[in-house]
Structure 1
């Protein structure tokens, strides 16, 4: 019988609070151009296209929560971790789309000027 990976989902508001109190490492698994266009304060970029779960801090050392654009790739990152025997199981439901819909702080680029917009 195939074992399904354990996946714990968090709302954007919950992730925002965890980032604010520094209880997690928020890992963005989108591609660099997506990260440059819009990102979450404190998130680190680790694209799924070059994702190596063994390069992450150990689960007993750091609590990792993944996020992406909509939640699909972050769930894939959790599955890859579990396939590698690494127990990082958490991601943000809805990705940065849900984060922005909740009007949480982001850093974006102004398409007209190319300038950075910091929405705190």
Structure 2
């Protein structure tokens, strides 16, 4: 799949940002942005793009980024339509920006990204179900099957019940507020 966003290397992006020609827009979700982001980036989650647009204060060029650049490239047409001006994708995303030694803000107190929390919880439940199924009773294998079915449902529908439950956990409440 080709994108209509022009690729831009991290060092070239940093130059455009430094001389005021561009603004860096991070399209990751709020929980991802809260934990780790390029210094000076603005948060405009892709999930809220249709409802809010970009809401940019001026007419500078836009450099879009995500963690690796894949999400940005996959949504290039939608992003260009939302900004209506010259737009770029940061090659390699935040990971490449960080690898290039450019400034990154990290908040270790922010909760892990919701997707990572779901992966940890689901993996733990599946592993527990398999171990208990092999050592205690085969009925525990149903736990692994139930979690697997839930993950398939989440992938097919976009609704993840485990993420909804984890969002209620005490460590996630301050991030959601």
- Do they fold alike, i.e. is TM over 0.5? yes
Q: Which residue of 2 aligns with 1:101?
A: 99
Q: Which residue of 1 aligns with 2:59?
A: 61
Q: Which residue of 2 aligns with 1:6?
A: 4
CA distance in 2, matches of 1:7, 1:53: 22
Q: Which residue of 2 aligns with 1:89?
A: 87
More strand per residue: 1
Q: Is there any run of 5+ residues in structure 2 with no aligned partner, and where?
A: 111-177
Q: Deviations over 1:44-77 (max 9, x none)?
A: 000111113982368x922111000000122234
Q: Secondary structure at the match of 1:79?
A: helix
1:8 to partner: Cα distance = 0.4
Residues 6-25 of structure 1: matches in 2 within 5 Å? 6-25=4-23
How many equivalent residue pairs? 108
Q: Is there any run of 5+ residues in structure 1 with no aligned partner, and where?
A: 116-120
Residues 42-61 of structure 1: matches in 2 within 5 Å? 42-52=40-50, 55-56=53-54, 61=59
Q: Which segments of structure 1 move beyond 4 Å, counting only runs of 4 or more?
A: 82-85
CA distance in 2, matches of 1:82, 1:109: 30
Q: Secondary structure at the match of 1:6?
A: coil
8 Å Cα contact 1:7/1:91 also seen in 2: yes
Return closer, same or farther for 1:84/1:48 CA change in 2, 3 Å cut-off. Answer: closer
Q: Deviations over 1:61-102 (max 9, x none)?
A: 221110000001222342113466935431101000111111
Return closer, same or farther for 1:53/1:70 CA change in 2, 3 Å cut-off. Answer: farther
TM-score by length of 2: 0.52
